[in-house]
A and B are shown apart, each in its own frame.
Chain A
Amino acid sequence: MSESLKRDFSGAHDPSRENIGNLLRVGVLIAAAVVVFGGVLYLAHAPRAQKTSFGQFHGESEGLSHLGSIFARAFHGHPAAMIQAGILLLIATPIARVLLAAVTFARVRDWIYAGISCTVLGLLIWSLVWG
């Protein structure tokens, strides 16, 4: 049994794993709460007789597909933007998870994995901001 294997097994009770599990759960709960809040507001404001159809693809407007404008409109109480902000928080949850892993690997001076984590993190941020 090599040293690294021993360390991996003790890692099963490593507090960093607990942190990652909690982070994911809390992230999902907050995101879901924001989506519920925005959704209730949206339904309350929608005209009762308004028909809905997603049969044709138009693409979302600038205001609902760009990070900055989503948060700006959500803060101004725009219900659809609030749902979208909740969805962004959900997307941010696994990204935060990768960031936490990068920090954890750097702490144990595992530079190879800190580098791999940072590369994954970079790809995720790139796709969200410039993709």
Chain B
Amino acid sequence: MTILHFVLVVFSGSMIAGLLGSLTGLGGGVVIVPMLTLMLGVDLRYAIGASLISVIATSSGAASAYVREGFTNIRIGMFLELATTIGAICGAFLASVLNPNTIGLIFGVVLIFSAVFSLKGKGDAAVSTHAVCPWPRLQLQGSYPGPDKKPVYYAASRPAFGFGLMGVAGVLSGLLGIGSGAVKVLAMDQCMKLPFKVSTTTSNFMIGVTAAASAGVYLRKGYIDPVLSMPVMLGVLAGALLGAKLLVRAKTKALRWLFAGVVGVMAVQMIAKSLAGKM
């Protein structure tokens, strides 16, 4: 493939990933790495580096819309970012010492979880409106505009557990070059019992900071190739922006099944390739 041909193919693929990721609300990062490694034969390290860059682009692009709506809790986000940034730096260093086949195998397992997660319905698990946070000085609480413009109040429970799970999300993000939004939402929504909308918007807000922490390490280790990262970043960004304009709620369910199917097939292929030692 000539360079121009390669750039156009990567741009188109990334745009589809960004579009699907934005329409399903799951982010496109998780499919970029398998697309580059399985279909285009890109080395896993270059693929992870390019994917991480696209994650920062979509997170920062999308978060700007959410901040205005007043759902993002900046205190809770900043507190948990302590865990994700430390985790992300550890994950990025881990990526440079682990065998690519091991990373590929972990990636495959994470893809299976993402496929399952994408099929799970949205909704508040059990929002703790009367919960009292064990660490009052951290003010891990807030409110958001409810349906009738009345504020809905909430507070975080089990902050230590949530903090630990966020550390894991950071490690996965740094190790695999993904946003790991699913784990972040899980930590806030299921573990800290925060409202679903607060969890997803705060997670999106945090993804960029987490990714920036490991991007520095990747850059210094030479994982970020400009010629590969350019079409990935621009493609995912274009797809995500297009997706935000198109957002049609009615067809989301079919898209989720499509996304889960694609991710599931990729998971099997990643695991097979890693087990064969060809990553």
Contacts and interface: CB of A to CB of B under 8 A. Distances in A.
A3 to B, nearest CB: 11
A123 B220 contact: no
A45 to B, nearest CB: 10
Contacts of B46: 54, 57
Interface residues of A, number: 68
A125 to B, nearest CB: 8
Contacts of A95: 209, 212
B213 interface: yes
Interface in B25-67: 36, 40-47, 53, 56-57, 59-61, 63-65, 67
B89 A123 contact: yes
B216 A128 contact: yes
B130 interface: no
Nearest to A60: B222
Most buried by A among B1, B78, B141: B78
Interface in B63-120: 63-65, 67-68, 70, 72-75, 78-79, 81-82, 85-86, 89, 92
Nearest to B231: A39
Contacts of A123: 85-86, 89, 213
Contacts, number: 213
A93 B56 contact: yes
A49 B228 CA distance: 18
Contact of B234 (A36, A53, A54, A129): A36
A51 B89 CA distance: 34
Given A9-B151, A113-B75, A46 B89 contact: no
B23 to A, nearest CB: 20
A22 B65 CA distance: 9
Given A5-B143, A65-B219, A80-B226, A24 B1 contact: no
Contacts of A120: 78, 81-82, 85, 209
Contact of B64 (A22, A38, A80, A83): A22
B242 interface: no
A88 B57 CA distance: 11
A21 B69 CA distance: 10
Contacts of B229: 83, 87
Contacts of B250: none
A17 B25 CA distance: 22
Contacts of A24: 60-61, 63-64, 67, 208
Contacts of A12: 70, 143-145
B137 interface: yes
Interface string A40-68: 00110010111111111111110011100
Interface string A60-83: 110011100000000000001101
B270 interface: no
B57 A28 contact: yes
A94 B56 contact: yes
A90 B233 contact: yes
A49 B6 CA distance: 12
B89 A131 contact: yes
Contacts of B225: 54, 60, 64
Contacts of A66: 220
A65 B221 CA distance: 7
Interface of A: 1, 4-5, 8-9, 12-13, 17-18, 20-22, 24-25, 27-28, 31-32, 35-36, 38-39, 42-43, 46, 48-61, 64-66, 80-81, 83-84, 87-88, 90-91, 93-95, 97-98, 101, 112-113, 116-117, 119-120, 123-124, 127-129, 131
The 3 A-B pairs with the shortest beta carbon distances in the complex, nearest first, are A12-B70, A59-B222, A128-B216
